[in-house]
Amino acid sequence: MKIAPNLSPAKKAPKFEDGSSLRIPSLQILNQDGSVIAGATVPDLSRAQATKIYSDMLYIRMLDERMQSAQRQGRLSFYMTCTGEEASVAGTIAAFQPQDMAMAQYREHLVLRYRGFTTAQFMNQLFGNLDDLGKGRQMPVHYGSRELNIMTISSPLATQIPQASGYAYGQKLKGKDACTLCYFGEGAASEGDFHAGLNMAAVLNCPVVFVVRNNGYAISTSCAEQFATDGIAPRGPGYGIKTIRVDGNDILAVYAASVEARRIATQEQRPVLIETMSYRLGAHSTSDDPSGYRSKQEEQIWRDKDPIQRMKNWLIAQCWWTEESDTDLQKSYRTEILAELKLAEQRDKPPLGDLITDVYKSVPTHLLEQFQELETHIAKYPDHYSV
């Protein structure tokens, strides 16, 4: 293992490197019409798994449409969509095993769907009701599931990156046949936690796969304003991490890269970086208006590269899917989602006492005192609260 910089004498005049010559190509297997690019190697993907991946991508598109509308109707306080980036998420999670820990940023709810999160569970979290796994203590879209090995999402950007390195190091020390999968956007790669997390993973040879979704914008800040390098992928080799860039709208390319990434992480016990090149077709969140920083013409270019349409074209070419199947599934999902939405918003909220549980084995005195003050205040001004 190389543990020191190359200090061999220079034989020529000083030459400085600025990284401008480093260009990492994107792996692509599928054309937009569903045909396979000449010479490309198609990954081993069964009909059952392929249709599951596609069905889950379609489900999330339907969920996003319905819940964004619910937020606009005032039924939900906040929402974030995965629209346009479904293949980047589905193609990665499908290559990993249930025992692998998944740490998401906030746009990867397809990870939960793929592992079995139900429509009712999505709705309970979004409305923070009595049946919410997080007991109503998180804002909407901050999902998590101990049962499914999915770490609860948090708002602070990039904090999951060093956490993923640390968790993966623990998996390594325990000799587990598992790794950690960590998602984040290219904007999060501008945070210090990105560099700390990748360096830790490289130095300690942690079995972690980092997936950076390069979707063009960190809210309103374009890639051109974020960094001068060729995306995020060139940073991987700088840390000594095996790296690949893929067409993030090409489900087969993402899946193929992810299968190999997991093999490297678990068998070679070392980190991997995958950069998926995609585009956020929707707003950053329901609090954002993308028309203020990008054009409709730009959006249309990427709408024509829709990852769901591309995979559907491939499935139809394989005789694994039909337009009729697609229409029926969309109708079924819309009906299911709307029904569970109506049920979830009618469920009671969690008891107020849940505010101070689960952190300590025994609730400390100062929290009990604060809670009693809160109860007294609510009793004095009952009209100000709905608990």
H helical segments located in 33-146:
47-72, 86-93, 109-115, 119-127
Catalytic annotation present for 293: yes
Amino acid at site 34: G
Distance CA 267, CA 174 (A): 15
Using CA atoms, how far residue 262 sits from 53, 233, 340, in Å, is 18, 17, 35
Q: Assign 3-state DSSP to the chain and report helix, strand, coil percentages, each to 5.
A: 45, 10, 45
Residue 274: count other Cβ atoms within 10 Å of its Cβ: 29
CB-CB contact of 271 with 199 (8 Å) = no
Which of 358, 359, 340, 355 shows the shortest CA–CA distance to 136? 355
- Does 280 participate in catalysis according to the annotation? yes
Task: Say whether 142 is catalytic.
Answer: no
Catalytic-role residue among 109, 213, 284, 310: 284
Q: How many CA atoms lie within 13 A of 198 on its CB side?
A: 28
Q: Judge contact between 62 and 139, C-beta under 8 A.
A: no
- Choose the catalytic residue: 263, 293, 377, 385: 293
Task: Supply the residues annotated as catalytic.
Answer: 280, 284, 293
